[in-house]
Structure 1
Amino acid sequence: MTWGSTSVAARHGSSASRGRLRSLEICAGAGGLALGLERAGFDPVLLIESRPVACETLRGNRPSWDVRETDLMQFDPAENQQVYDVHLLSGGLPRVKSPAAVARTRGDDAELSVLKAAVDLVYGVQPLAILFENVPELIRKSDYAPVRELVAKELGHLGYRLRWHVLNAKDFGVPQSREVGFLVAFKGDLMDRFEWPRPNADPPPSVGETLQASMGARGWPDAARWAAQADSIAPTIVGGSWERGGADLGPTGAKAKWERLGVDGATVADQVPDAAFSWNPALGRRGRVALTVDQVALLQGFPPDWWIAGRKTAQYRQVGNATPPPLAHVLGESIAEALWARDDVRVWATGR
């Protein structure tokens, strides 16, 4: 797995040589965004997450992180003084529906309420930089224009300048085509120093390259043969809804793409194949391999030692809805590079 981009690190040195920056993470989930930002030089002073199982995941992997199981809309920064001195406010926010979609379905706007709560938190915390992740449609589609305008207006009042952009994780070493929408904002003139990360020169590994070792872990003799034909990257992994359904790899179109890779996309396995498994895609689903949660995590760019709490479906939801850590890493490096341009940031982080 290729972590990060040489475009920033090679030009300016590692975070270890420059000191560490401080972040506040909201809607932290399984930690994909926080992990990538950690590798880019950010240490979270606090992580806010409402789902108990995701909090368990975060604490299990990083016992030193201060993880708070609370609803963002109930969080009061006045009772958590450490959040007033952060360089970055980050979060993988729930997928916002467009105002038009909310009107058509007569559904509630819970996701939009979380976005508004995140913007309100900026008023209280006043970070130097902001990084919010959401659906690419939020950036691209006219239906979402009122949402973008609302965010721009509120942040503009506070002296922030912002940019919206869509990045694809496959361009940064992740073996999956996954478009992700991002909002990046800086206070003052720091936006002039920010550059979106440039794609890697090398292509990402294929599904077969990424998963061959794990597929053969229980002695399956066809692991290498399967990997050789699974020679492209994965389609977008869909985490699905927390409220309904079991674990599978996505809608009908995605399942057809998995089928071409010799994978049963309609389920998630408890274990990788054993020595007795007969791989024969011509037999339909029973002749294809199913991926485990751990394998899906590898396709999302998580390191092999990142532990996921809960039962299988809850594990899959966390992994499938996460921000790919390598994507968070390169974005974190670009944000850090802009922040290091400020004299007060350098003095605070290094004492020089």
Structure 2
Amino acid sequence: MSDLRFVDLCAGAGGLALGLEHAGFEPVLLLDKKSVSCDTLRWNRPRWQVLEADLLDFVPTRYQETYDVDLLSAGLPRVKSSATAARAETEAELRLLEATVYLAHAVQPRALLIENVPGLVNAPDFQPIRDFIRKELDHLGYRFRWFVLNAADFGVPQDRKQGVLVALKERYFDAFRPPRPTVRDHLSVGQALFPSMALGGWRDADRWAAQALTVAPTLVGGSDGRGGADLGPTGTKRAWARMGVDGGTVADGVPGPDFVWAPETGRHGMVRITTDQAAILQGFPSDWAFAGKKTARYRQIGHASPPPVARALGLAIRAALGAPGAPAPDYTSGP
């Protein structure tokens, strides 16, 4: 099978790129401005060309390979409503969206994929940026579609809704269909994490898993300027508490044989998840490693695009481009 080629912007820990790789795409360049994320990418895929740079400063003419790609992909920092975030923060995120579209002017890929918050699809606050994107893509000869996917529908044990834009050159667009769910029954937190919870000999692992019957709430990576690693805001922590999990912190290791699970007694009686377990909840394969200390690792995971969703999107784009199908991913092999 001949791989299709792509450039990945704001690549982070590589969730989007990994899923696209599993769909038969080969990256020619991955860009991210955080050194720890670049370390993660190089660690797992030494053959990938990784550039540590800010998207707003990126000059594609210095990288001629970017002009011969089938797909430009971007899992951009989550845009926020001006009603819930500082104006400067909102404008910075929107500038990255604009920069991605402007880069499509230069690169002229056959397809463009942008993944972000679900509100970007239809929330009134984001109508101006949607209007900008529509105008630019119309001018470039792309047709496009906005839609929302939930990672839980693709075998990821997490309720994680993603807003997606897929644009294709006119001649390919009519063949595009958004990916359909790949699972009928959602994978629960208990099912996903029981093997790792039992690794240390924890005697209550069975009892805990038996009551953790839902998917996880959305993992939140948080801001670089805010505290240590936790699993999200107050509402998210309450959802974790209902499963007997302390969402206020991230553990250094799985529970041992002497840990007594007694969630009715408060946080000290609840189990905590590790960064490796957070990666499982995000759909990463077990051999994908994350660089940095605990908080940096968790933030990379929390901000990532789940690879199974990215694979489904890649397969849908691949089909529209008329390429043959990709093989199923091997989640057990090394890089």
Residue 46 of structure 2 is aligned to residue 63 of structure 1? yes
SS of alignment partner, residue 234 of structure 1: coil
Matches within 5 A, 1:195-206: 195-206=177-188
Shift of 1:97: 3.1
* Residue among 250, 253, 263 paired with 1:268: 250
* Residue among 263, 273, 282 paired with 1:300: 282
Hey, what does 1:6 align to over in structure 2?
none
d(CA) in 2 for partners of 1:174, 1:105:
32
* Residue among 56, 62, 66 paired with 1:73: 56
Q: TM-score, normalised by structure 2?
A: 0.94
Shift of 1:116: 1.1
* Residue among 152, 156, 161 paired with 1:179: 161
Hey, what does 1:139 align to over in structure 2?
121
Hey, what does 2:4 align to over in structure 1?
21
Hey, what does 1:349 align to over in structure 2?
none
Hey, what does 1:128 align to over in structure 2?
110
Residue 260 of structure 2 is aligned to residue 278 of structure 1? yes
Question: In 1, are the aligned partners of 2:152 and 2:187 still within 8 Å (CA)?
Answer: no
Residue 194 of structure 2 is aligned to residue 212 of structure 1? yes
Distance 1:242 1:217, change over 3 A: same
**Hey, which of these two has a bigger chunk of helix by percent?**
1
Shift of 1:201: 4.4
SS of alignment partner, residue 90 of structure 1: strand
Matches within 5 A, 1:1-352: 18-98=1-81, 100-101=82-83, 105-108=86-89, 109-340=91-322
SS of alignment partner, residue 107 of structure 1: helix
d(CA) in 2 for partners of 1:341, 1:291:
40
d(CA) in 1 for partners of 2:80, 2:156:
26
d(CA) in 1 for partners of 2:318, 2:248:
40
Hey, what does 1:14 align to over in structure 2?
none
d(CA) in 1 for partners of 2:153, 2:142:
28
2:77 partner letter: P
1:66-98 Cα deviation digits (max 9, x unpaired): 000011111111110001100000010111234
Hey, what does 1:13 align to over in structure 2?
none
Moved more, 47-56 or 248-257: 248-257
Shift of 1:341: 6.2
Q: TM-score, normalised by structure 1?
A: 0.89
1:291-315 Cα deviation digits (max 9, x unpaired): 0000000000001111000011111
Moved more, 107-116 or 54-63: 107-116
d(CA) in 2 for partners of 1:248, 1:316:
8
1:21 partner letter: L
Q: For structure 1, which runs of at least 5 residues remain unmatched after alignment?
A: 1-17, 343-352
SS of alignment partner, residue 331 of structure 1: helix
d(CA) in 2 for partners of 1:115, 1:183:
11
Which consecutive segments of 4 or more residues in structure 1 shift more than 3 A? none
1:113-147 Cα deviation digits (max 9, x unpaired): 11111111111100000000111111121111011
What RMSD in Å do the two structures reach over aligned CA positions? 1.4
Hey, what does 2:332 align to over in structure 1?
none
Shift of 1:105: 3.8
d(CA) in 2 for partners of 1:165, 1:202:
20
Shift of 1:200: 2.6
